[in-house]
Chains A and B, each alone.
Chain A
């Protein structure tokens, strides 16, 4: 009696339900199933693409940020030119010697602009030559060879390095004696006497026996 009442309240009749379920034999056709599932697969593909675009955009942005941060961390810290110039000569020489080694190791592809192949070839050849040979070389290489030392600077260097740039001078790697003297001479003529003296001292340290023009001899430290 209680069960009957419960069934009435919940709108159930177990016997009718049982009989009804026994009649449930119909099913949609296979063709209908295929059509519906095919439509679902196509739509699912669209849904996937909808997620793909923002996802790949986010990935690209993240990658870009990561690379930028890494590059910022790896950027070499160059010594401050003003600090360097204000230091005492003996100390600055020591720093220069140390940084000079680093600069040589750091191989200067970033610092040097690419030279034209034939000029680069000349420049390479000139590095292998002794100073005396170098003096004779311009005529052979087709480059005009005036008497002035300043014009003896190898072409690749002239193209890549502005003479008056102090910042360039501090990060300049080991260079050819003639070019170096030309640069010192230019500095002296521009009134950069102190820098010229320091450069001269450094030059003498690297090339103790290389002849120095009379105009620059006065920049050498006294005996």
Chain B
């Protein structure tokens, strides 16, 4: 039984799998730590898309997203203990987020040291002409998402991609529940305004 992913146009075929789908993420992760590679494949199947999209939407470009994606999984694979605090999905997204923050810091330092003459920052809002080109609501949403303040975008993406509760997200990024709720509310308000014609 080949095991490609639904909706994946690639020709990747994984090894035949035992019926591990009924197991929780944490059980699968423990099994992987006991040497079960198929348990990892099941776990990977569950989070490959959401993690990738989270990184893609919050990174400067696809190349950075791919690097971060691979590094996140690599850290999960190498992690010495099977269960940290909280659910597995919180762990994997926390690792991804931390890597992203580290990458952002490195990039910022690089820019400051290399560019003495700082230029005007690019305007976040596209020109009205550009906006008229984006006729697809989905594309518009992606664009608007990219233009949200970083913290609001992060709150939105974590909510959508992880399915964690506000409390869990707040704990994951070390802020209060009300803070994350507020960020999310602002993000949704802004998106709703931008997508008024689509909704």
Residues of chain A touching chain B, judged by Cβ–Cβ distance below 8 Å, are: 8-13, 15-17, 19-30, 32-37, 39-41, 43-51
Contact = CB atoms under 8 A, between A and B. Distances in A.
Given A12-B159, A20-B145, A26-B52, 18 more contacts: A8-B185, A11-B181, A13-B192, A15-B192, A15-B199, A16-B192, A16-B195, A20-B141, A23-B141, A30-B10, A30-B12, A36-B44, A37-B37, A39-B77, A44-B32, A46-B35, A47-B34, A48-B35
A64 B53 CA distance: 56
5 contacts: A30-B8, A37-B40, A44-B37, A45-B37, A50-B35
A40 B52 CA distance: 18
B44 A11 contact: no
A16 B191 contact: yes
B40 A32 contact: no
Interface string B46-88: 0011001100100000000010011001100110000000000
Nearest 3 pairs between A and B by C-beta? Answer: A48-B35, A11-B184, A30-B10
B188 A45 contact: no
Contacts of A51: 34-35
A189 to B, nearest CB: 73
A220 to B, nearest CB: 79
A47 B32 contact: yes
B137 interface: yes
Contacts of A32: 66, 69-70
B70 A36 contact: yes
A74 to B, nearest CB: 39
A11 B159 contact: yes
For chain B, what secondary structure do more than half of its interface residues adopt (helix, strand, loop), or is it mixed?
Answer: helix
A44 B35 contact: yes
Contacts of B198: 19
B33 interface: yes
Interface centre among A15, A23, A29 (most CB of B within 10 A): A23
A27 B8 contact: yes
B66 A22 contact: no
Contacts of A16: 141, 188, 191-192, 195, 199
B32 A11 contact: no
B184 to A, nearest CB: 4
B188 A11 contact: yes
A48 B39 CA distance: 13
Given A10-B166, A30-B12, A22 B138 contact: yes
A17 B66 contact: no
A35 B192 CA distance: 39
Given A16-B188, A19-B137, A39 B52 contact: no
A69 to B, nearest CB: 31
B32 A40 contact: yes
A28 B35 contact: no
Contacts of B141: 16, 19-20, 23
A40 B77 contact: yes
B48 A40 contact: no
A41 B53 contact: no
B180 interface: yes
Contacts of B185: 8, 11
Contacts of B53: 24, 26
A45 B38 CA distance: 11
